[in-house]
Amino acid sequence: RKEVEQDPGPFNVPEGATVAFNCTYSNSASQSFFWYRQDCRKEPKLLMSVYSSGNEDGRFTAQLNRASQYISLLIRDSKLSDSATYLCVVNIDSGGYQKVTFGTGTKLQVIP
């Protein structure tokens, strides 16, 4: 089983739709979680951190479910500019052991 797994998509959604992505992780010692956005041929850019209590930034909502070991990203009222690949990132930091693992990404295409 991969340490971090994402559905590669593509998710093709119409403008204005709500779309959700999940990312599952295998190591229960995972400590911090992030969502990044990557446009074609560009660097990943931090979208938001994921907190235990869940957090929202405008149209974006991130949630963490430690019991089931997944994080989610919800995008409401999708815009054409939301078209990108969304990467989840999981940090393990346990004593002297630290590892950052990126998912392979979920591609979103918002259609006019």
List the one residue from 105, 106, 107, 110 that touches another protein (CB under 8 A).
105
Does 46 help bind another protein (rule: CB under 8 A)? yes
Stretch that binds another protein, among 12-20, 54-62, 71-79, 103-111 (CB under 8 A): 103-111
Total binding residues toward another protein, as defined by CB under 8 A: 19
- DSSP string of 4-67, one letter each residue: EEE----EEEETT--EEEEEEES-TTEEEEEEEEE-TTS--EEEEEE-TT-EEETTEEEEEETT
Does 43 help bind another protein (rule: CB under 8 A)? yes
